[in-house]
Every structure is written in C-alpha cells, then in structure tokens.
Amino acid sequence: GGTQVVSDQLVVRITAEAGKTFLDRMIALVEGASRQKTPNEIALNILLAGLTIIFLIVVATLVPLARYAGSPVTIVTLIALLITLIPTTIGGLLSAIGIAGMDRLVQRNVLAMSGRAVEAAGDVDILLLDKTGTITYGNRMASEFVPAAGVRPDEMAAAALRASLADETPEGKSIVALAEEQGLRADRGLLAGAEFIPFTAETRMSGIKLDGHATMKGAADAINRVAPMPADLQEAVRTISAAGGTPLVVAEDDRAIGVIALKDTVKPGLRERFDEMRAMGIRTIMITGDNPLTARTIADEAGVDDFVAEAKPEDKIRIIREEQEGGRLVAMTGDGTNDAPALAQADVGVAMNTGTSAAKEAGNMVDLDSDPAKLIDIVTIGKQLLMTRGSLTTFSIANDVAKYFAILPAIFAGAYAADATSGGGGALSALNVMRLTSPESAILAAIIFNALIIVVLIPLALRGVAYQPIGAAALLRRNLLVYGLGGLVAPFVGIKLIDLLLTAVGLA
C-alpha cells in the first residue's frame, strides 16, 4: 500500500507532530465509525421477541383456563408447550442461512466477515466508489498518440515506441503496448546499440540515443526547453491536461513531433455493470480527490450516476452518515488507507484485495478480484438471503400457530375425555381433530416434530430460495401460499405420523 520509487530518488520531510499525522487521523475516524442495524434485522428481532412474549402469555393464561375447564395442567406439559410454540425453528435456521450466504460469496471470490454484511447487501440503496484503484486501475496508461502538424501518425507512434523500449515504468510499458496495438513491433534488438537516458527529477524526461540521434519523451515544459513545441502541440497539451490526463511530449533531437496522452484508465465493463445496478435501484456515486473536471471526465466514462470531487476522507464518512440518517443503506468500495473510515462506517464495506491492510481491516467484505462491479453479485446474494429468511420465517410462524392447535387437546385431556358411562365425548372432545392416542403421545410427538422440522429445513436454508426480481406484494403472496400454507399443514401431518409411530412401538 505504500509508494514505490522506480527511478531517481525521493526526499521525505516530516512536517506533522506525533499523533497528528494522516494515519492518526484515519485511526480516529475509523474508531468513531459504527455500523447501524439493518431494517430487516430490526424487524426480525421485534417479530421474534413479540412472538416469544405472546406465546409466554398464552402458556401462562392456560393455567387458569385449564382449571376452569376441569383439566389442570402439569408444569411438564406447560414447558413442553412453550418449547414447541416459541420460534425455535427460524432461530435455529438463521445461522445456516447466514453461513450459506457467506459461502456463496466465497464461490465468487468475495470474503464476508459476517452474515449481517451479506444481509445488508440485499437492501443497499447507494454505492459509493473510490476512483483510483477501484473504478480506474490507478496507473497512468497511454491512451492516444497526437502527432504534430506535418508528422505522420505512424512516425509519431514509432518515435514514442523507441523512447519507451527501455522504460520499465508502468507508463513506459503502456506506451509500448499502445504502439503494438497500432501495428508496430517492439524491436528490443535496438537497445543493444543504444544508450538509455533514464528519467531524473532534474531533467524530467527519458529516452534513448541511437546512431547519434536522440528520441526523448517527457514533461511538456522540460521538452520545450530542448525542442520548442509548435502552437498545435501546445494546444494539444492544454486539451489533455484540461481533460484530467497527463501529456508527455515526444521529441527527436531538437524537434517536437507529438504528444502522448496518459490517463488513469477506467476498468472495462463498468458502464454495463453500473446500468445493471441502476436497474436494481442502486444509485452509484464516485468519490475522488481529483479536481471537478477530471472527476467529471472519469464519471462520464465509467457511467456512474453522480460524483463528488476534491473529497477528503472526512467528506466520505460525512456523506455516508448523511445518507444513513435519511434511512438508506450505503455500500462503499475502496482500496486505500484514506478509504478505511468510510469502509468502517458503511453498511457494506467492500475492500479491494489490491488495497492496503487498513482498508481490508475496516471493511466487512474483501473482493479478491478487486472488481467493483462484483457488488451486483453481492447484492443478488444478499437479496437471496433475505428472501430465504423471509420464506422460512413465514413457514416458522405458521408452523408455531398450527402446533398450538395440534396439541391443544392434550392440555384439556380431562375435559374432552370420553365419558365411560355414557359412551359420549367430553365438552371439548371436538378439539381432538387429529385423534391423537393420548395426551402424553401428543406432547411427545410435538416435541419430536419440533426438533425434526429444523433438520428437514436445513438443506433449504443452505441452498436458499431462488432469487427473483419481483415486487414486495407478489413476494408476500408467494410466501403465504407456499410457505404459510405449508407451515400450517406440516405440523398436523407430522405430529399425527409421529403419534402413530409412537403408538406402534409402544411408547404412547
């Protein structure tokens, strides 16, 4: 994550006091960051707590009701009823659902630090992206050769290629690659008889001398001192600079023949992926410390919805908090130490694997492929996790309600027991719709079913409910029809079968 000096030398002057450095500021911001609970997490906690309280009240009120009906219940019966009623099914499956979501991310080369991070991804409204290293490669790459008036494009490209043959910097290699893309061949044999002129901070240019002729490339003002630039090249330099690029002027001896445009290249395929995010309702915002003109150029090329220019680390975390205060869930992707506070504050902080250790520690996910468009896969998996949990929660609630009515006759055994003298049924005999063998077998069957249903549902929790981009109303109808109805029917069928089995083996 540091700076590598590839040529010349670097002089460092310390200007900050101990405890007031950039890293100290980042540490303070990270320590002050905190992730909020997601709306789904809050709703599920309230639901489970509410159901538990309701069923506690139901069990507690059965004591006076049973006495009034002439069928006092035992403590063992009440405990058994409470165990079967409280939402243990979904409680037992939540961990499996979260682990399965994390596993699906691992299959896509994304490491999630918790199931909560995967869940939050399913509800993301806004994605903030750092520019350098996330949207762009972070290295200035050659994008265009601009020849001077009267110079052929292939002549200009050949000169740029010669000046860069011995240049091992990322910029030099990108110039060679661009020339080769235009049909030129990099003949390394030329270097045998050539003198390589390295870049230095004083000259600010590099190149080679071959057969008494020098081919150089470098900063515009440095080249202009040895090879005055014509007006058209000066205009090209200004145009490239205004667009956020870096111009390198190429000269042969004392004649400037063209300009190489270097720019921080946008990673391919991002525009299409951002279009997909837009269709999913996710707004993308690029955050960069660059000037507004450069930021706008990169933002337009990448296809993001908005951008924030000249942003400091404090601005990033401020923007995230403002969006969160508005009730929105925010995802952040970044790779630098200056991104760490924002990654720690975001609901979903995706650090690039090529980033610094601070960024990866602050985020709750690490993308091993360093692909910001991977968030689409992350969001899809998050939505699948939420749909799976919603479906199984629907089943669990219906299941708990059905179990109550399935074993209720056992609570009032004395009231509905058959009258031996009259041959009729008791006052509440109609409640025993399942015709369970005995109160004891009913309770035992319910306890066994309560344990088995969790085991049966684990494969579904791990596989997940197939994600479909449908509306909330359609999703609710499907859950009620499939999982709600299934949750109502399953206890009656399951408890009856277990009761028959217990009777067959003589345990009832």
Catalytic residues: 130
By C-alpha distance, which of 131, 140, 96 is closest to 115? 96
Please identify which residue in the block is written with the tokens 């219940």.
73
Token reading at 294: 């450069």
Cα torsion through 262, 266, 267, 268, rounded to 10? -100
Residue type, 392: L
Backbone angles phi, psi at 255, to 5 degrees: -125, 120
Report how far residue 170's alpha carbon sits from residue 166's, in angstroms, rounded to the nearest whole number. 12
By C-alpha distance, which of 245, 263, 262, 270 is closest to 370? 270
The answer to whether residues 385 and 122 touch, using CB atoms and an 8 Å cutoff, is yes
* Three-class DSSP labels, 296-352: HHHHHHHCCCEEECCCCHHHHHHHHHHHHHCCCCEEEEECCHHHHHHHHHCCEEEEE
Please state, in angstroms and as integers, the Cα–Cα distance from residue 457 to each residue in 94, 295, 452, 454, following that order.
11, 50, 9, 5
Report how far residue 357's alpha carbon sits from residue 340's, in angstroms, rounded to the nearest whole number. 9
Q: 72-95: string of b/e by CB count within 10 Å (b at 16+)?
A: ebeeebbebbbebbbbbbbebbbe
Using N-to-C axis directions, what is the helix angle for 39-68 and 375-411, rounded to 10°?
Answer: 0
Q: Which residues pair with 259 in a beta bridge?
A: 146, 249
The answer to whether residues 350 and 381 touch, using CB atoms and an 8 Å cutoff, is no
Report how far residue 78's alpha carbon sits from residue 332's, in angstroms, rounded to the nearest whole number. 50
DSSP 131: I
By C-alpha distance, which of 399, 423, 382, 424 is closest to 489? 399
DSSP 133: I
By C-alpha distance, which of 383, 333, 363, 381 is closest to 136? 333
Token reading at 48: 């489970």
Report how far residue 156's alpha carbon sits from residue 88's, in angstroms, rounded to the nearest whole number. 74
Burial class (CB in 10 A: 0-12, 13-18, 19+), 10: exposed
Please identify which residue in the block is written with the tokens 């069990």.
59
